[in-house]
């Protein structure tokens, strides 16, 4: 479990891991980044109270670096990746180990079930769980069991990780997708099991959400630079939305200034249609009846969906054009660290 500034979530995340029941010994290794909110002190107290918890330092703060440090410090043949912003459901580990053996896969993952404690966070969670929000990946919105492109978190065989070279420490975001790409290219299977579920707690503020998605989009742009068409088509939807928005602004300016008039203005106005359709889709997702959301959650949804898509799309464009080596997810860390 890589950990950085998670004082509000760490105890619940750790408790959900230690409560897992399965045959054989286990350990929980926390890779501690340079937190500033008391997370490190909290982790040390928990480790002092439970011998199963071990700590390793991750001064670089980057997730793939912390994951590799924790994996190399481990003593067991199976790796269960856990996020400090999440909670494993009861029976997760036992089910995952069974699925791993049954399918002879190298990595098994399940569904990310986002949840929230505030109206804003619940609105973000609803967007995460919707195909409209994050593009319809099986581990966001569910689906049938079977081979998968990637896995959320993942329960992995150590020998395979060693064989493919662990996580790529030159990638700050999207490291799981890139690892699973190498696993599949090495001839192993990545498996999705919808019976596996992990509760995920999204960012707690609009600014942090925008920062997170801008960073994620930038790194996806970097991965497109590196791996091209191996990236799923769904990753290109947000940048297309940004392109449509830019074109619409340009056409509107030309019409308002009188550069485009008459039939030319009417013909150019076709660029507004995709944005109108998108706006109607967002309104439908936010306001449709029967979802049990409060008024504040519905209003936040109207802001959350475009924020996620536009921030991701803008980041993607920057990542494709300039790369992502200098990018940092400032929603959790306000400084950069050198890459290998």
What does the CA dihedral 67, 149, 227, 63 come to, rounded to 10 degrees? -20
Report the run of H or E that residue 198 belongs to, with start and end: strand 190-200
Q: How many Cα neighbours within 13 Å face the side chain of 192?
A: 19
What pLDDT does 230 receive? 82
Q: In the structure, what pLDDT confidence band is assigned to residue 335 with cuts at 50, 70 and 90?
A: very low
Average pLDDT of every residue of the chain: 91
Token duo for residue 28: 């929980």
Cβ neighbors of 146 (< 8 A, separation 6 or more) are 191, 192
Rounded to 5°, the CA angle 146-142-218 comes to 95
What pLDDT does 135 receive? 67
255, with CB counted inside 10 A (0-12, 13-18, 19+), is: middle
The values of phi and psi at residue 259, to 5°, are: -70, -40
Indicate whether 336 pLDDT > 60.
no
Give residue-wise pLDDT tens across range 89-108.
999 999 999 999 999 999 99
Which of these, 179, 51, 39, 62, lies nearest to 109 by C-alpha position?
A: 179
Token duo for residue 84: 């400090």
Q: In the structure, what pLDDT confidence band is assigned to residue 130 with cuts at 50, 70 and 90?
A: confident
Which of these, 46, 339, 340, 92, lies nearest to 197 by C-alpha position?
A: 92
E-assigned strand segments in the chain: 2-3, 28-32, 53-57, 78-80, 86-88, 107-114, 146-147, 152-157, 190-200
Cβ neighbors of 150 (< 8 A, separation 6 or more) are 109, 137, 139, 176, 177, 180, 181, 190
CA dist 57 and 30 (Å) reads 8
The residue with greater pLDDT, 142 or 118, is: 118
CA dist 282 and 245 (Å) reads 15
One DSSP character per residue, 13-74 reads: HHHHHHT---SS---EEEEE---SSSHHHHHHHHHHH-TTEEEEE-TT--HHHHHHHHHHH-
Of the ranges 89-98, 123-132, 154-163, 327-336, which one carries the lowest mean pLDDT score?
327-336
Token duo for residue 168: 């790529």
Of the ranges 55-64, 140-149, 158-167, 191-200, which one carries the lowest mean pLDDT score?
140-149
């Amino acid at each position: 479990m890589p950990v950085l500034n998670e004082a509000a979530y760490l105890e619940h995340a750790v408790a959900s891991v230690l409560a897992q029941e399965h045959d054989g010994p286990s350990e929980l290794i926390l890779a501690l980044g340079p937190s500033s909110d008391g997370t490190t002190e909290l982790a040390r107290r928990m480790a002092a109270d439970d011998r199963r918890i071990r700590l390793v330092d991750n001064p670089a703060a980057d997730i793939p670096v912390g994951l590799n440090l924790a994996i190399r410090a481990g003593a067991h043949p199976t790796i269960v990746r856990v996020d400090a912003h999440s909670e494993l459901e009861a029976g997760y580990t036992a089910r995952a180990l069974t699925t791993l053996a049954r399918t002879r896969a190298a990595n098994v993952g399940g569904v990310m079930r986002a949840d929230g404690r505030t109206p804003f966070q619940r609105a973000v969670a609803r967007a995460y769980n919707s195909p409209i929000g994050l593009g319809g990946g099986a581990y966001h919105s569910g689906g049938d069991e079977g081979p998968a492109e990637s896995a959320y978190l993942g329960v992995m065989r150590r020998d395979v990780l060693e064989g493919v070279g662990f996580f790529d420490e030159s990638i700050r975001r999207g490291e799981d997708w890139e690892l699973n790409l190498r696993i599949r290219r090495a001839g192993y299977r990545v498996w999705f099991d919808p019976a596996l579920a992990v509760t995920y707690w999204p960012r707690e503020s609009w600014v942090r959400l925008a920062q997170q998605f801008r960073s994620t989009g930038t790194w996806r742009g970097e991965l497109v630079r590196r791996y091209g068409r191996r990236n799923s088509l769904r990753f290109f939807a947000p940048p297309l939305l940004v392109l449509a928005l830019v074109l619409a602004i340009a056409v509107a300016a030309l019409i308002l200034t009188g550069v485009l008039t008459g039939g030319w203005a009417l013909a150019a106005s076709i660029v507004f249609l995709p944005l109108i359709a998108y706006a109607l889709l967002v309104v439908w997702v936010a306001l449709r009846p029967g979802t049990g959301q409060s008024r504040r959650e519905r209003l936040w949804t109207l802001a959350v969906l475009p924020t996620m898509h536009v921030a991701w799309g803008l980041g993607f464009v920057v990542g494709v054009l300039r790369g992502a080596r200098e990018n940092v997810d400032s929603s959790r860390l306000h400084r950069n660290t050198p890459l290998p």
